Structure 1
Amino acid sequence: MRAVRLSVVTAAATAAALAAVTGCTEKSDAKNGDAIQVTAADSTCDTSVKSVPAGQVTLKIENKGSKATEVEILFPDDRIVSEKENIGPGTKYTLTAEVKAGAYEIACRPGMKGLGVRQKLTVTGGKVAKRDPRLDKAVAAYREYAQEQADATIPRVQTFADAIKAGDLEAAKKTFAPSRVGWETTEPI
């Protein structure tokens, strides 16, 4: 009986935590006049304004390209403030985030690859967020580590995929576990 109660409590706590976390990027009812209009295409990322006041910022995104795209609000060092992935061609989405005064970029990533097409965004008013250089260093080190893991994983995944395509079940079995190592070492974080 205790295990069941614990599971219910754990599930309720998890649901509450997820609701709190996703509140930063949920769809908003902002009126078009209050929002930054973002038009993403295969090689462009147009924004209706280049400067907004600090506080809640709303992006009204429309993908006019032929590929799924990702739109991100980024700090100058590429840390993500908020993002929305898999915005299909012809699809619209509203993204909200809380931002402090400072310099940011809005990035559209057609095909969800590369650094994307970027537009500068200046947020004015309020106080500029104080940065802790120790945290910036830790984020940069982790980013480098995650990239190293991805770079080492891709050839292993390709070897596994090639074995599957060739119908070589024994080679696929042998290469499956090594193809997951890079993902498994970074995924829990």
Structure 2
Amino acid sequence: MSTTARSALLATTGLAIAVAAATGCAQKSGASGDGAIKVAASDTACEPSKTEFPAGKATIEVENKGAKVTELYLLFPDGRIVAERENIGPGTKASITAEIKAGDYEFACKPGMKGDGIRTKVKATGKGGEKRSPELDAAVAAYRAYAQEQADETLPKAQAFADAVKAGDVEAAKKAYAV
């Protein structure tokens, strides 16, 4: 891919991601929606306002009523993460917006941000889901490919630097640093 084509792709992808991020931020900071799933997290409980809700775009609002910093996860039955919010301080609230397909899930509140957390089973029902934008999906896919390519190129270089430092080879580390 030529430099010009790559620059154009990156600019288009960046614009699409910026628009999506701005939309996501607006949703996170907005007032409570009528259909929001509220989760009261404490040091000993993880209590959602609903254990059954419609599939589709969902807003999950968590309030940490405990004394410890906590995390909230929405998990598939096999433990994979659907959505998460970390570092929710005592007495604070946070919001997550996620696209949730019909099925069984669990909320996991992790007081102290440790362990498996306090879990509560929930269920998303119906068909739900909004029509996706092929343009935004393509932009996200292009950005993922770009980010993976950059990581694939960077990791071996970072490993060479780390290996030189561990071996005490200052000259090799200097040469490998910020290639």
Q: 1:111 aligns to what?
A: 112
Partner amino acid, structure 2, of 1:56: K
In structure 2, relative to structure 1, the CA distance for the partners of 1:65 and 1:19 (3 Å cut) is: farther
In structure 2, relative to structure 1, the CA distance for the partners of 1:16 and 1:33 (3 Å cut) is: closer
In structure 2, relative to structure 1, the CA distance for the partners of 1:123 and 1:28 (3 Å cut) is: farther
> Cα deviation per residue 1:133-162 (whole Å; 9 max; x = unaligned)?
xxxxxxxxxxxxxxxxxxxxxxxxxxxxxx
Q: 1:17 aligns to what?
A: 17
CA contact (8 A) 2:110 2:116 kept: yes
In structure 2, relative to structure 1, the CA distance for the partners of 1:103 and 1:62 (3 Å cut) is: same
For 1:27, what is the secondary structure of its paired residue? Answer: helix
In 1, Cα distance between equivalents of 2:22 and 2:110: 21
In 2, Cα distance between equivalents of 1:74 and 1:116: 11
CA RMSD of aligned residues (A): 3.3
In structure 2, relative to structure 1, the CA distance for the partners of 1:62 and 1:176 (3 Å cut) is: farther
What count of residue pairs does the alignment treat as equivalent?
A: 131
Q: 1:144 aligns to what?
A: none
TM-score (norm 2): 0.59
In structure 2, relative to structure 1, the CA distance for the partners of 1:100 and 1:43 (3 Å cut) is: same
- CA apart distance, 1:68: 0.9
For 1:126, what is the secondary structure of its paired residue? Answer: coil
Q: 2:161 aligns to what?
A: none
Segments of structure 1 that go 5 or more residues without pairing to the other structure are 128-173, 178-189
Identical-pair percentage = 49
In structure 2, relative to structure 1, the CA distance for the partners of 1:22 and 1:119 (3 Å cut) is: farther
In structure 2, relative to structure 1, the CA distance for the partners of 1:125 and 1:9 (3 Å cut) is: closer
In 1, Cα distance between equivalents of 2:22 and 2:82: 13
TM-score (norm 1): 0.56
In structure 2, relative to structure 1, the CA distance for the partners of 1:59 and 1:115 (3 Å cut) is: same
In 2, Cα distance between equivalents of 1:9 and 1:116: 41
Query: Which structure ranks higher in relative contact order (CA pairs < 8 Å, sequence separation ≥ 6)?
Result: 2
Q: 1:124 aligns to what?
A: 125
In structure 2, relative to structure 1, the CA distance for the partners of 1:30 and 1:7 (3 Å cut) is: same
